[in-house]
Structure 1
Amino acid sequence: MKASLFTLTALAVSFSVFADSPTKPFAETIYHNADVITVNDNQPEASAVAVLNGKILAVGSDENVLKLADARTKVIDLKGITMIPGFVDAHGHVMNTGLQAVSANLLSPPDGPVTDIASLQTSLRKWAEKPINKAQDFIIGFGYDDSQLKEQIHPTRYDLDAVSTEVPILIIHQSGHLAVLNSKALDMLGFTAKSKNPPGGIIRRVADSNVPNGVLEESAFFGALIPLFTQISPEENELLFQAGMELYAKYGYTTAQEGRTMSDSVTTMYDIAQKKKLLLDVVAYTDIQLGTDIMKPPYLSQSYNNGFRVGGVKLTLDGSPQGKTAWLTKPYLIPPEGQTAGYAGYPIMSDEEAEKYVGMAMKNGWQLLTHANGDAAIDQYIQAVEKATQKYGAGERRFVSIHAQTAREDQVQSFKDLNVIPSFFPMHTFYWGDWHAQSVLGDERAENISPTGWALDRDMIFTSHHDAPVAFPNSMRVYSATVNRITRSGRILGKDQRVSSMTALKAQTIWAAYQHFEEDTKGSIEVGKVADLVLLSDNPLEINPLELADITVLSTIKEGEVIYTQEAAIADNSCSTSRKCQALATHTFMIAGLIPHIH
């Protein structure tokens, strides 16, 4: 028999009747009858968690933790729902994710509707017809992927001109490393047949001519994008930032990263935080090539100021493997348009420049995140770290190799030797695994992208990330890919690189907190740590690993306050199991009846 709304509410909510005591410690909130995965090896499981002043007061059995309740305590019966620590973003771009949230969705299934150039054009037209978007006098789309288009090619200026020749159009590749502009936008930004390729970038051309075909790679694209972003008003920036944080919260992230930013964006995020405490904790890394004037207090800090801090600097050494701009030691299986056999991508900078920037970070004591996808770029990075370490000595710097997609086994060993944390991108196995095998790298190299297994073989920690807005900040898709490595076609790509569900969870929680120097305050459910908690529809350690991507985030709790709850799922036909729907219903009524403060 189905439970009524009244019954579910009564089951979910109970208030303690303990007498007040001026000497006994009390909890503001106690969650009990829960399936708690603490991610704390010393106390891996519990059934109750008490919260006071945004921190975890107690973890343990219902019997022991409920002793901390009195008449002031909210006591929440979770009816067996799973609780885990809040996810910590090991690498993403929370402010740019806001741009994704407000742009035309050009993603391919399962995340969007685009399967060919015609459907891409349709998505742009539909977006542009909305009054709020029409008023922008600019059409922007995010997430097209040539590997998933039926034509298997990039759109060109002429495909976008078919949408409009009067309004400038910019569409961004899902990798974030390429873009396409229509003729109007190219004219506005000064791209002509006389334009030369900038260092570290390429302006693709119409066949047998110098005329730009609209596709811009790497620095050619970034150089075009920066002037557009400087025109965004403070109010629009705030909306983008908020939209990005809200999307992160939907997927259970309580700490977000802005993994490559500029000084003016840092001040923007800081100023927003000063007006009102941020929804999440946000740690930013400023582009070391674009100026380091911001690398000082109050911005640079080990602690958060109303939810914001600068954690260090970012260096970019190459591009995207799926976009075929990453710098490899061996050629791409199939070269991209305009390139010949033997093409292996290209570096962003010289060895001397890389060594200069790595040395600058080490000299100043700045944590450095370095984007290096191709193994040639990883070689360049390792060489730079080795030289800087010889000069400045070893230390607890927690430098990070971002993506390290095609890292060879010898390079993983070098990471260990140099105390570099690899932050891998296992989601590639799902989104682009087939593309890597069939077009980018070939079978042998594709099997070992994001080589988490090689890291574990060496007793290393690693982190797993989504790189949003390259992909949605979907924590469960990250989780599933790290464990299963299943491609879109159902192939297991690199069975020896798979890891356990617990290892993958650590890579998104306690190990990611360690990467940010925050392991003492976050990443596990332990007494004294911040009450960053997530409620899930299923226990990821108990279900079939192939079902991990289907787990639903029911609620995200930041420092004891609910910042996201999944209410709409009750009426949504997406509930795949009665167990999940029951969990959603129970949880939603509990939150609605108990916790009034939902951001």
Structure 2
Amino acid sequence: MKRNLLSAKKMVILSLVLMLALVGFSMGTLPKKLDPIAPDSIYYNGKIITMDSDSSIAEAVAVKDGKIISVGTNKEISKLKGRHTETVNLNNKVMLPGFIDAHSHLPGSGSAKLFQADLQGPPVGTVENVDDLIAALKEEGKSKSEGDWIQGGGYDQTLLAEQRHPTKEDLDRVSTSHPIWIKHANGHMGVANSKALELAGINKDTPDPPGAEIVRDPETGEPTGLLKEPNAMRLVTSLLPPLTQDQKMEAAKKTMDIYTAAGVTTSVIAHGSKQTILDLQNWRTEGILPIRITSMQSGELPTFAQKGGILTGFGNEWLKVGAYGESVYDGSIQGYSGYLKEPYYKFLEGTNYPEDYRGYSNYSKEELFSRVKELYQQGYQIAIHGNGDQAIEDILDAYEAAQKEFGKRDARLRIEHAQMATEDQLRRMKELGVSPSFFVSHTFYWGDQHRDIFMGPGRAANISPLKTATELGIRYSIHLDSPVVPMSPLQAVWSGVNRLTRSGKVLGPDERVDPMTALRAVTIDAAWQNFEEDIKGSIEEGKFADFVMLEKDPLTIDPTKIKDIKVLETIVNGKTVYKSEK
């Protein structure tokens, strides 16, 4: 009898609790723990460019537990509000899905800012001639102890008044006791002083490494200090003291400041390694990695993966293994190491190339085929660096051979940069299911040089052919390759829309795209390229609440002003990770 009375009391209490819960729910007054349906936050009264398949524009979005639970009008979304829902009035500002950086070298942007002299030319930097470059390196050297390395980055010989690379003799003016290494803006070459060459054992008799070049004085045969492509550069860079764990963490923090201020909520790292994965896990644990990361692995990954069973897609919503890439098949156009079908247009004074020179690949076509077949058979997504049209042709041949041997699947094979892709090659990409990631900002940073020096007017007009790719129905991303150029997805969008060079001239007007198309290339299409279109890249129910708020609308503003639009706030997983001071 006593047990029955206790049970009856429990039933009464439970009924009262349920009744109160129902009343509280109807009035929106439930405690948060008893209010499982109401959103954590509602953003309303804005222009929300959703980037969905219909290019819909909404007014409000509701977020719960880091995900979008509803998108619609102010009236529709306001009905979801609970007692503890935070409401944010966008005041007619613009919201987009967070920008996806499709290809960069994190934490390179932070490392460059913190640990080397800035040798960039205008409008990004202030180095206009060799004397400016030397002055910047001398300033960097003031904090160094005897024998320490002095490093610089971002120089571009085409932006120097002398129109030439610095030489070892130039760098010796900074110091002959400190080894010095400076890296070109394109990342494919650099210059060492005499001390660094001595430490690396590079002299007149040193043979060129495979797929690389030790540039020599045409009269004496002595190395000038300029080393082209990784196999040559590593002779010096392998001697550079590695960053300590504390320095790497400091660089990561600085990079996150730069990326989040630019509206980036996902970054795809090129040239990842086993150490990259370890570093990323450490940074995430330490709380200094507020954005999502996909690492395109390179180097030792096949062995690493075979031992651990790690393939493309392994990881979680914060850290993930992406494509195997980037395997650098050729170099850069402005370094004369991009691999072309036809010879370069002109050669700068001081170069020593034959008239029919077309650049070169960093390894043989046979090795390319072997690598691609092995990775494709294992189930990897593959991403290969290809700038010149001959390099792109070889990569497509390799992809096609792998598909013929092992069957075609939705592998979303990538070509990184794809700068000189021809219309015929784009048609092959469509047929093979290949997705390029275009470095379209080349039209601004090096467009004048491509037109006047490297490619000539005809070929230069067709670099990064976004419009042709769009018309063929190819999904692609656009990227900055930071720290090659500063991280700014809006600048990449601006370049895709305007194709303006540094001198203000339009390079290839027929390859310009509209703002919506360019925005898709840094949001939903970039997500699709990495098999993530179901979880990010657009503002739709069920996806991560990763947003960027802009001061002005890139769809309606004067297109030439898109790059100057201010990022007001960056939100990842429903939480603010950057907010402008204004």
TM-score by length of 1: 0.88
Partner Cα distance (1:25, 1:46) in 2 = 21
Give matches, 1:54-453, under 5 Å: 54-102=66-114, 103-129=116-142, 131=143, 137-224=148-235, 227-228=238-239, 231-276=242-287, 278-288=289-299, 290=300, 292-295=302-305, 300=311, 302=313, 304-305=315-316, 307-314=318-325, 315-336=327-348, 337-453=351-467
One-letter identity of the residue aligned with 1:463: S
Label 1:223 to 1:490 Cα distance change in 2 as closer, same or farther (>3 A).
same
Partner of 1:7: none
Partner Cα distance (1:298, 1:33) in 2 = 48
Q: CA deviation at 1:135?
A: 9.4
Label 1:24 to 1:487 Cα distance change in 2 as closer, same or farther (>3 A).
same
Partner Cα distance (1:270, 1:228) in 2 = 27
Partner of 2:17: none
Partner Cα distance (2:336, 2:373) in 1 = 29
Partner Cα distance (2:261, 2:141) in 1 = 26
Partner Cα distance (2:191, 2:396) in 1 = 33
Contact 1:261 1:285 in 2 (8 A): yes
Q: CA deviation at 1:122?
A: 1.8
What is the SS of the residue equivalent to 1:322? helix
One-letter identity of the residue aligned with 2:175: S
Label 1:230 to 1:161 Cα distance change in 2 as closer, same or farther (>3 A).
closer
Q: CA deviation at 1:427?
A: 0.3
One-letter identity of the residue aligned with 2:29: A
Partner Cα distance (1:498, 1:460) in 2 = 15
State the percentage of identical aligned residues.
36
Partner Cα distance (2:324, 2:140) in 1 = 35
Partner Cα distance (2:64, 2:55) in 1 = 20
Partner Cα distance (2:218, 2:152) in 1 = 25
Q: 2:511 aligns with which of 497, 521, 528?
A: 497
What is the SS of the residue equivalent to 1:508? coil
What is the SS of the residue equivalent to 2:532? coil
Label 1:172 to 1:280 Cα distance change in 2 as closer, same or farther (>3 A).
same
One-letter identity of the residue aligned with 1:36: I
Label 1:395 to 1:302 Cα distance change in 2 as closer, same or farther (>3 A).
same
Q: CA deviation at 1:99?
A: 2.2
Structure 1: any 5+ residue segments left out of the alignment?
1-16, 568-584, 586-599
Contact 1:88 1:512 in 2 (8 A): yes
**Structure with bigger gyration radius:** 2
Label 1:24 to 1:353 Cα distance change in 2 as closer, same or farther (>3 A).
closer
Partner of 1:509: 523
Give matches, 1:468-483, under 5 Å: 468-483=482-497
Label 1:291 to 1:517 Cα distance change in 2 as closer, same or farther (>3 A).
closer
Structure 2: any 5+ residue segments left out of the alignment?
1-26
What is the root-mean-square deviation of aligned Cα atoms in Å? 2.0
Partner Cα distance (2:175, 2:28) in 1 = 68
Q: CA deviation at 1:487?
A: 0.8
Partner of 1:540: 554
Partner of 1:19: 29
Label 1:164 to 1:474 Cα distance change in 2 as closer, same or farther (>3 A).
same
Contact 2:45 2:60 in 1 (8 A): yes
Partner Cα distance (2:377, 2:48) in 1 = 43
Partner Cα distance (2:88, 2:301) in 1 = 49
Contact 1:198 1:220 in 2 (8 A): yes
Partner of 1:531: 545
Label 1:43 to 1:562 Cα distance change in 2 as closer, same or farther (>3 A).
same
Q: Which moved more, 1:506-515 or 1:88-97?
A: 88-97
Q: CA deviation at 1:367?
A: 0.7
TM-score by length of 2: 0.90
Contact 2:259 2:487 in 1 (8 A): yes
Partner Cα distance (1:230, 1:376) in 2 = 36
Q: 1:487 aligns with which of 486, 497, 501?
A: 501
Contact 1:294 1:300 in 2 (8 A): no
Aligned residues: 549
Partner Cα distance (2:265, 2:402) in 1 = 34
Partner Cα distance (1:386, 1:299) in 2 = 25
One-letter identity of the residue aligned with 2:82: D
Label 1:226 to 1:308 Cα distance change in 2 as closer, same or farther (>3 A).
farther
Q: Deviations over 1:276-327 (max 9, x none)?
A: 4722111111225x55223265864526447222212112110001222100
Partner Cα distance (1:39, 1:89) in 2 = 16
Say yes or no: does 1:45 pair with 2:57.
Answer: yes
One-letter identity of the residue aligned with 2:124: D
One-letter identity of the residue aligned with 2:305: M
Q: CA deviation at 1:260?
A: 1.2
One-letter identity of the residue aligned with 2:51: V
